Amino acid sequence: MNFRYLPMTKQDEDDMLQTIGVTGIEDLFSDIPKEIRLTRELNLTPPYSETKLLKEITQLANKNVTSKSHTSFLGAGVYDHYIPSVVDHIISRSEFFTAYTPYQPEISQGELQAIFEFQTMICELTAMDIANSSMYDGATALAEAMTISAAQTKRKKVLVSKAIHPESLEVMYTYAKGHDLEVIEIPEKNGMTDLDQMTSLLDETVSSVIVQYPNFYGQIEPLAEVNGMIKDTKTMFVVSSNPLSLGMLTPPGDLGADFVVGDTQVFGIPAQYGGPHCGYFATKKKWMRKVPGRLVGETVDEEGKRGFVLTLQAREQHIRREKATSNICSNQALNALASSVAMSALGKKGLKEMAYQNMQKAQFAKRAFQKRHIPILFEGPIFNEFVIQLNDSVSNINKRLLEKGMLGGFDLGKIDAKYEKCMLVAVTEMRTKEEIDSFVKEVGEANDNQ
């Protein structure tokens, strides 16, 4: 038999048909009117043998450009980071890979403990009291924080920095429409949130102020200053943050944030063409009953042994739409596990070293561009991304880089016309000095030819 995983024989088919009381496959479709049924064979090519199929699929896959085949300086929300080999070994184990949902704690202790540890590590990174068991991605986590702040303050206006990720902003608008919220964008100035404009927009009708840290342009926003402006207004402070950056930067929880959200793609989750990701959601203890999604708590069983359970919220809470703060009752357990394993493998010192290398290598690249007389658009402090000004379109520069085996940075002209010919460059710990030097050289030569 050519099909290893389709073992059904003609005898098996006849036995099943006889059991349900029909004489043939055609009888199964007798209720469907003949005039709407297809009267010809599907227009499909004949099936390949397994060997031929694998060969063709491999040839097609080899046409893809990836961070494995090319040196990547592309970030803008999805990054090429070191993933310890143990991550794939653990998440490929059947008890994790096929797990659905841990409603029965007596048989789900492994997954519940993994989720609990994810929550714990997120709290340590963000300096917040409590974190949930993960969300679909950073954008939805941010939108959930927006809606909770509106429900808690009973205010309908949201101030959001124009310097957050543009796709997160789109998700926020989608959520806001369903909750009848007014989203007001705080203008961006020189790659940062315009705090003067924020002050003029801030009043007693604003439920929350939302900023990104580091922001979409790679700049590090002054969270303490923002918090000082809003702390006496009963307006809530929401920060979307790259969790890896918190290995070096002061965590938002220490700077007054009420909610800290983001995406753990930077820990153990490959770029994989844009998804899936894993959002995190952290807040203060007083808001724990408002947290969307799942929460895992630590307890003891009747014998006094340590154990873990889903706690504080029941799934039915999210189904009762008129009282729910969110309709999310699931999480990204497998990706959260990948992030937990990656953070555990790195350890506290390793995570800090990884963040440090991002900062140092980005600064090295930044100085190298300056030596080539390629302007750096903004001069504020950065983590691992910065913006360069080019003489040619970013798409043309990136085509040349692709020919040289490199993935160039993000074209900011796609989101704002004033940043035409501006490239957002990401430099992670994966980039070597030689790769950075080569990238700067190729960008410089392409730029000089214009």
Residue type, 193: T
Residue indicated by tokens 């929460």: 295
Q: Would the pLDDT of 373 be above 50?
A: yes
pLDDT at 170: 97
Check residue 378 and give its pLDDT: 96
Q: Which amino acid is at 386?
A: F
| Band (1; pLDDT cuts 50, 70, 90) | very low
| Average pLDDT score, the chain | 93
| Between residues 360 and 102, the one the model is more confident about | 360
Q: Rounded mean pLDDT of 404-424?
A: 97
One-letter amino acid at 27 equals D
Q: What is the mean pLDDT of residues 112-122?
A: 95
- Assess contact for 249 and 383: CB atoms under 8 A: yes
* Whole-model pTM over 0.75: yes
Gap between the Cα atoms of 121 and 393, Å rounded: 42
Task: Tell me the C-alpha distance between 181 and 155, whole Å.
Answer: 8
Q: Read off the pLDDT band of 231 (50, 70, 90).
A: confident
DSSP classification of residue 214: S
- Residue, of 103 and 357, whose pLDDT is higher: 357
Give the three-state DSSP class for 275.
coil
Q: What is the set of domains in the chain, with CATH numbers? A: 71-82+348-448 (3.90.1150.10), 85-342 (3.40.640.10)
pLDDT digits (tens, 9 = 90+) for 236-286: 999 999 999 999 999 999 999 999 999 999 999 999 888 899 999 999 999
Q: Could you read off the pLDDT of 5-59 as tens digits, one per residue?
A: 666 788 888 999 999 999 998 899 999 998 999 889 899 988 899 999 999 999 9
| Calpha distance 11→383 (Å, rounded) | 65
**Under 8 Å between Cβ of 365 and 75:** no
Per-residue pLDDT at 399 exceeds 50:
yes
Amino acid 94: pLDDT: 87
pLDDT at 408 over 90: yes
Q: How many residues does the chain have?
A: 450
Task: Inform me whether the pLDDT recorded for 292 exceeds 50.
Answer: yes
Cα separation, 178 vs 195, whole angstroms: 28
- Cα distances from 293 to residues 108, 258, 333, in angstroms, run 18, 18, 11
CA 169 to centroid of chain Cα atoms: 14
Question: What span, in angstroms and rounded, lies between the C-alpha atoms of 239 and 444?
Answer: 36
Helices (H), 68-137: 85-91, 94-97, 109-126
Of 331 and 191, which is predicted with more confidence? 191
CA–CA dist 212, 222 (Å, integer): 10
Give residue 376's pLDDT band: very low, low, confident or very high (50, 70, 90). Answer: very high
- Number of other CB atoms surrounding residue 371 within 10 Å: 9
The distance in angstroms from the start CA to the end CA of the chain is 62
Give the residues across from 389 on adjacent strands. 422
Query: Residue 312: its pLDDT value, please?
Result: 83
* Lowest-confidence segment of 180-184, 326-330, 388-392 by average pLDDT: 326-330
- Between CA 441 and CA 447 the distance in angstroms is 10
Tens digits of residue pLDDT in 317-347:
555 666 666 767 778 899 999 999 999 999 9
- Determine the 3-state secondary structure of 260 from DSSP: strand
- Residue 97: band (very low, low, confident or very high) from pLDDT cuts 50, 70, 90: confident
Highest mean pLDDT pick, 60-64, 71-75, 98-102: 71-75
Distance from C-alpha of 420 to C-alpha of 412, rounded to nearest angstrom: 7
Report whether 154 contacts 160 (CB < 8 A). Answer: no
- Whole-angstrom distance, CA of residue 208 vs CA of residue 170: 17
Query: CA–CA separation, 170 vs 164, rounded Å?
Result: 10
